Structure 1
Amino acid sequence: MKKHFLTALAVILLPALAMAQFVVNGKISNSTGESLPGASVYLGNRVTQSGSDGTYQFNDVTAGEHLIRVSFLGYQTQSRTIRVTGNQTYNITLAPVSQLVDEVLVSATRATSNTGATYRNISKAEIEKNNLGQDLPYLLNQTPSVVVSSDAGAGIGYTGIRIRGSDPTRTNVTINGIPLNDAESQGSFFIDLPDFASSVDNIQVQRGVGTSTNGAGAFGASLNIQTNTRRDSAYAELNNTFGSYNTWKNTVNVGTGLINGKFTFDGRLSRIKSNGYVDRGSSDLKSFFLSGAYYGKKDLLRVNVLSGKETTFQVWNGVPEAKLTGNMDSLYRHYYDNVGYLYNTTADSLNLFNADNRKYSQFLYPDQTDNYTQDHYQLLYSHHFSNQLTFNGALHYTYGRGYYEEYKYSQKLANYGLDNVLIGSETISKTDLVRRRWLDNDFYGLTYSLDYKPSLKFNLTWGGAYNEYDGRHFGEVIWAQYASDGDIHQHYYDGKGVKKDFNTYLKATYQLGKTSLYGDLQYRNIDYTISGTDKNRSPLDQHDRLNFFNPKVGIMHQLTDNSNIYISYAVANKEPNRDDYVNSTPATRPKSENLQDVEAGYRIATSGFNIGLNAYGMFYKDQLILTGAVNDVGESIRQNVPISSRMGLELDARTKLVPSLTWGLTATLSRNKIKQFDEVIYEYDANYDLVNTIVNSYDKPDIAFSPNFIASSELSWQPVKNAEIALLSKYVGRQYLDNTSNGKRQLDPFFVNDLRLHYQTAFTGIKNIGLTLMVNNLFSERYESNGYTYSSVVDHRMITENFYFPQATRNFLLALNVKF
């Protein structure tokens, strides 16, 4: 009887025992007994970091077997299976690596918890969840302070990203520490590397000035991207996506795994095609990625080749407001205000009035396309002199070439260097024509860093880069109704830009008990020369040399094993871009911009939740913005504003509500102001001759494209093993199209929800089969995420033209992933 009672009691208590939750803790140290602070400790799919004394802790651990894995840069990753039956302590000793790992290649430009910078690390697993064909900015949409946009409306083709309101020209992007930003325009064009995310291992997003890095765009945010790292086993992977607007993505990934313990070879081939949400907003994108690596005991050598080719129909003019609202009176007024400029033919008029309002596309010429090919070659090398000293270096070369083609009506022959045409007694001075404007450039250089770590308490890094850019800008007329004396290979303008960029930095961190001190000093020298003629055939002759000093300091204090506070101060300086030089003279060109950035925050990471709370103040001197001013040939020019600022609070949190339900949340509340802004409006008479310049002054208006509130949410539920249902939400507050805080020139707030369904399984001979359905804009929110505006007074009447980029209503992407 007693035996049966004990058996029954055990059966009754078994579920409770299985659900019992315990504490697993311990200490991470090296073979000499020194603690390793900041080691990554994984327990199943949970992660934490060891504290300043090397200790870690997981709460609420269920009974049973769990895989625990510990990694720390410079040491061999250790994994073991543990059996939890109660509160237990597992101390783990790590041995120095016998081979270098790829992470060392990007360590010099990465922020850590000791640097006091504000950042988010995004793993390969996070990237893969949403990588169904949309451009890389869309994969970062759930990170703090981010707003993304798409010209064609569906995230494929030309896309944009703003972080804290900073546009792509102010966001530094590096691939394995090598600059991606175009040296002259300073923007990063991910369309030139289609499906690049399929070759990315991890991304660090730094908000604010961040740590010293390489490239022209480090002035508000940084994307530090690392491509594929070592995989020890051979693999093959097929990814195929089909979706709305006849969207297709086909990707093949293959790799040899580790050969003879020393060599790996990886490759990817991709194709993405889409008609786009906007009429004729099509994209035809192709790319490949090849990588080979040698792993020695003290040396790591990797060669990467990336290439992308894109053909995209031009939809970058957007949709006029009158068309978007469907107000016929406004639409007629818009038409007559722009006839002979935007609308030249009967077909143009019919297209304007008859096309779908939200999907309207202005251009009817079938080859009105942007065409560009870009090849990247990278040679990455790391040498481990000792446990204390490591060298990293890279040589790189990028070759870009392409053009955009456009049909132009009634162009003056003289503007293209062509003679007037005589037909009988008639003199022809204008012609319809098709032109191509080319960019052909070379970008090459080297990056370097020397990391010295005499103890776990002190780290010193010296690094930098030298890069040269040689860009050729020229135009061709490939067809004309009246060809005059032109030749298809004749250049009607030729411009050249040569830019030399050198920087060097010295970074140091020192651990003083529970406090970490950080210092970072960077010197940057720029030598820039432009010559030849611009697209208006005006002569170019400018040379500028700039020297910048960018200091950074920070302090981090460990409150507990799981939490810390930090504060940092950083200075950044940024040179004008090519258009600023082209559209000015040496006497009128704008000054460089200066930014002082203060960051302060609190971070806590436990097994159940991670929370980061950050306050920032970004204070600009001579920030360059559009004011409405134009130069003597009618080109819009940016001008310096003496004082402007961005201040805000950011929340980045993730918590496990119940074992199967996880919630990620970000929020940004900010204030973005220009102390004093002068808007320039030109007044013309009925014949469009300039008669007056109007200046309107504004006191503390909002900075354009800087919403005061941004929030995102990702609610993920795993109803059964290997299945996930996730609701992704994004709210973006009101944005102004210019710097006047005028409610008639704004982007309305929008709230968009996406639904992601995922299931994976495996069969004999197939490692994994994954099926993902992404329903974007689940509730068909009608919204615009980008736009532009301009104003003038004509014949005593104020005319303001707003243009918007409508985003797709409900649409889907269905992906099948097969791994062998």
Structure 2
Amino acid sequence: MKYLLLPFPILLFSAATHAQTTSDTVRALPGVLVTYQAEKLTPITFQNLSGEALQKRSVGQEPSFLLTEMTPNVTAYSDAGSTQGYAYFRLRGIDQTRINITLDGMPLNEPEDQGAYFSNYPDLFNSVSRVQVQRGVGTSQNGTASYGGSVQLFSPGLQDSARTTLGGGYGSFNSFRLFGEYASGVRNGKALYVRASQLHSDGYRSRSSNTSRSVFLSGGLMRDKTSWKLNVVAGQQRNQLAWLGVPDSVLRENRRANVNGPENDQFTQGLVQLQNIWQPSATSTITSSVYGSGLRGGYDFDLNAFIGLPSTAELYRYDFRSGWLGAYTTYARRTQRLTWTSGLQASTYRRRHLGSEKALGELYRNTGRKQEASAFSKLEYRLRRFTLFADAQVRTTTFDYNGSVPFPAINWRFFNPKAGLSFAAADNTTLYYSIGRTSREPTRNDLFGGNDDLLADDQGRPALASQTPESVVDQELGVRHQAGPLQLELNAYYMDFQNEIVLNGNFGPNGLALTNKAESSLRTGLEASVRYQLTPRLLLTNNSAVNYSRIREQREEFKPVLTPALILNQEAACQAGPWLLAVQGRYQSRSFIDFANSAAVGDYVLLNARVQYARRNWQLTLFGNNLTNARYYTNGYVETNGTRKLFVQAPANVYVDVQYSF
């Protein structure tokens, strides 16, 4: 993506602070978009993660693993068994294609299959200033419906002081990272941030290496009442593929086995976002953004390995090229009692798919197109100790397809309402309740039944799976408390689904997970996030979740795939002068890996630790993972012949990271 980086001027903006005495002047222009995030009194379930806290833990691993450590009710696994390369997460057991992910309000979920691929932007979480994770339907978002939740990323805070940081690290499985980071601070109303990273890992499993690089550029220009910000992010990755599960009989002989054939991939992806924040008065703000994203690359597919036969010279390949353009604008008005936000968003997306075989050449090509438009209005009104909340979104999306099978465009229209109430029981305690409904369309993979090229039925018509959208009614009840040494977030949730598209535990020939339709289903449980400063030096942190989920199908009940009933994360961190010692334990109960609940991956306990020494301009950190050398699995599936296939995760491993700032 060099063509994305070289022509752009160093033009970026930061939050402007310009205080004057007249009522219509700007006191502080925000450095990042805030119109979609939840605030202290918003009656939804959310958690904020600071960029500083993320960077203390992040050494280039996939963000999925950071989310499992720092938020409740998140599970993750990786193809390679280590923490780099392809990794995936689930929130409340709901897969990643149904979780909304944005950067400063820009959608990151690919419109066709609604997945956000962090692996295409390696080291991303070391550049963000903060993250807000909303669990449940949350507030209205741009892009993919926040069906199971949303993960909102916020670009670097350009108002930070000037600095330059160089760093590197090395660890088990020949994993390493090199990076350089520069922040100019605000100078004459301008600011610039740049970070470049190079990462590699051989992977724990045989032939599962990842080599990737990325650049994040953010610059700003600010004036009295308006600010401009430009974000440019580009990444490239090359992987040896390991997306097939391994039979448990093989794993007993060789835990590092990889049953994929000689398959590789390479993808390059970049995005550009130009933002403007205009504050015409002290109580109103208009935020606008235009964005574009492009992806190019492909991956190999060994059919013989997929069906369990020895590899031959036969090797297929999937290639993709996509382009995505969009824009949104929001108006926010804030008074002492009222916060009102309304917005519009529209985007158009096109992806070309090309299938080929090494000896035969091109086999097919097709193109998917998707257009989307949405509008929302959100209101929070404070009445003494109560805050009334209402949020409504209208969303329309169209999917069209050009290929060998005639295809009529499919249109979906949704109305997604939400309402809630919070009560400030004390200055440091908030009780809340909310109810919201949201719906979403099937992905292309759901529509095509896991095929990259649409098949025809015996009458020549498109052989489509169900086109019916899924919907959920989500109720959240919780309390937030922060006083002295204690910070507590506790909530209960009840999610009632109709026509839920649930994982069935299998993978299609394109490597994507296959799904079934469920007549009705529910997910309910308790989630807790607790921070307690036991002494000035000792901090205790706990993120835990209890889950009760059921799928009802033809008078039978099943538990959803990969949805453990209990997850416990406990960390103790001790700070003594320049030294930090943190020990973290995780317990995850068993979860089923097939729709019929005939097989499961067992429960497991992990013990991780990190030791950090920071003095003057230096920071040295030693990470130890899975210190008890637990033999565990976090994902798997069952073949039609009953064979269990599992994804092994790495045994004990270490990583050393060093950084120097000046």
Matched, 1:158 2:86: yes
Question: For the Cα contact (< 8 Å) 1:298–1:384, is it kept in 2?
Answer: yes
Matched, 1:783 2:632: yes
Match of 2:528 in 1: 651
* Structure 1 segment 628-639 matched on structure 2, within 5 A: 638-639=515-516
Distance 1:160 1:580 in 2: 18
Matched, 1:401 2:282: no
Match of 2:591 in 1: 735
Q: Residues 626 and 777 from structure 1, CA distance in 2 versus in 1: closer, same or farther, beyond 3 angstroms?
A: closer
Q: Residues 614 and 75 from structure 1, CA distance in 2 versus in 1: closer, same or farther, beyond 3 angstroms?
A: farther
Distance 1:628 1:785 in 2: 12
Equivalent residue for 1:209, pick from 120, 131, 137: 137
* Structure 1 segment 350-365 matched on structure 2, within 5 A: 357-365=254-262
Match of 1:796 in 2: none
Q: Residues 598 and 314 from structure 1, CA distance in 2 versus in 1: closer, same or farther, beyond 3 angstroms?
A: same
Matched, 1:445 2:301: no
Tell me the secondary structure at the aligned position of residue 281 of structure 2. Answer: coil
Tell me the secondary structure at the aligned position of residue 322 of structure 1. Answer: helix
How many residues are aligned here?
629
Aligned CA RMSD, in angstroms, stands at: 2.5
Distance 2:159 2:206 in 1: 42
Shift, 1:590, TM fit: 3.5
Greater RCO, CA 8 A, separation 6+: 2
Match of 1:726 in 2: 582
Given residue 439 of structure 2, which amino acid in structure 1 is its aligned partner? N
Equivalent residue for 1:277, pick from 186, 196, 204: 204
Shift, 1:813, TM fit: 1.0
Shift, 1:75, TM fit: 7.8
Question: For the Cα contact (< 8 Å) 1:186–1:217, is it kept in 2?
Answer: no
Match of 1:803 in 2: 645
Equivalent residue for 1:235, pick from 157, 163, 178: 163
Match of 2:551 in 1: 674
Tell me the secondary structure at the aligned position of residue 385 of structure 1. Answer: strand
Match of 1:475 in 2: 355
* Structure 1 segment 667-706 matched on structure 2, within 5 A: 667-676=544-553, 699-706=556-563
Deviation string 1:400-421 (CA, Å, 9 cap, x unpaired) is 010102455699xxxxxxxxxx
Tell me the secondary structure at the aligned position of residue 101 of structure 1. Answer: coil
Shift, 1:629, TM fit: 10
Matched, 1:751 2:605: yes
Deviation string 1:669-716 (CA, Å, 9 cap, x unpaired) is 110101226xxxxxxxxxxxxxxxxxxxx7221111111111101110
Q: Residues 159 and 180 from structure 1, CA distance in 2 versus in 1: closer, same or farther, beyond 3 angstroms?
A: same
Deviation string 1:787-812 (CA, Å, 9 cap, x unpaired) is 12232xxxxxxx21221111111101
Question: For the Cα contact (< 8 Å) 2:26–2:279, is it kept in 1?
Answer: no
Match of 2:4 in 1: none
Q: Which has the higher mean CA deviation after the structures are superposed, 232-241 or 546-555?
A: 232-241
Deviation string 1:174-210 (CA, Å, 9 cap, x unpaired) is 0110000011111111000011112111000000010
Match of 1:45 in 2: none
Given residue 737 of structure 1, which amino acid in structure 2 is its aligned partner? I
Q: Residues 711 and 291 from structure 1, CA distance in 2 versus in 1: closer, same or farther, beyond 3 angstroms?
A: same
Distance 1:213 1:74 in 2: 25
* Structure 1 segment 420-431 matched on structure 2, within 5 A: none
Distance 2:249 2:115 in 1: 30
Question: For the Cα contact (< 8 Å) 1:567–1:598, is it kept in 2?
Answer: yes
Match of 2:31 in 1: 102
Q: Residues 435 and 299 from structure 1, CA distance in 2 versus in 1: closer, same or farther, beyond 3 angstroms?
A: same
Given residue 326 of structure 2, which amino acid in structure 1 is its aligned partner? G
Matched, 1:170 2:98: yes
Q: Residues 99 and 566 from structure 1, CA distance in 2 versus in 1: closer, same or farther, beyond 3 angstroms?
A: closer
Equivalent residue for 1:126, pick from 40, 46, 53: 53
Question: For the Cα contact (< 8 Å) 1:173–1:217, is it kept in 2?
Answer: no
Distance 2:75 2:518 in 1: 24
Match of 1:558 in 2: 424
Match of 2:395 in 1: 524
Shift, 1:628, TM fit: 8.5
Equivalent residue for 2:243, pick from 296, 309, 316: 316
Deviation string 1:497-533 (CA, Å, 9 cap, x unpaired) is 1000111100000000000000000000011111204
Question: For the Cα contact (< 8 Å) 2:399–2:410, is it kept in 1?
Answer: yes
Tell me the secondary structure at the aligned position of residue 567 of structure 1. Answer: strand
* Structure 1 segment 369-388 matched on structure 2, within 5 A: 369-388=264-283
Distance 1:560 1:76 in 2: 33
Equivalent residue for 2:482, pick from 605, 610, 627: 605
Q: Residues 738 and 629 from structure 1, CA distance in 2 versus in 1: closer, same or farther, beyond 3 angstroms?
A: closer
Shift, 1:250, TM fit: 0.5
Shift, 1:753, TM fit: 1.1
Distance 1:407 1:614 in 2: 46
Tell me the secondary structure at the aligned position of residue 314 of structure 2. Answer: strand
Given residue 360 of structure 1, which amino acid in structure 2 is its aligned partner? A
* Structure 1 segment 494-513 matched on structure 2, within 5 A: 494-513=365-384
Question: For the Cα contact (< 8 Å) 2:145–2:439, is it kept in 1?
Answer: no
Q: Gaps (5+ residues) in structure 2? A: 1-14, 307-311, 450-454, 456-461
Match of 2:448 in 1: 582
Deviation string 1:142-170 (CA, Å, 9 cap, x unpaired) is 21111111111111000011111111011
Q: Residues 322 and 387 from structure 1, CA distance in 2 versus in 1: closer, same or farther, beyond 3 angstroms?
A: same
Distance 1:571 1:746 in 2: 31
Matched, 1:299 2:226: yes
Distance 1:532 1:805 in 2: 35
Question: For the Cα contact (< 8 Å) 1:144–1:668, is it kept in 2?
Answer: yes
* Structure 1 segment 192-271 matched on structure 2, within 5 A: 192-260=120-188, 262-271=189-198
Q: Residues 409 and 614 from structure 1, CA distance in 2 versus in 1: closer, same or farther, beyond 3 angstroms?
A: closer
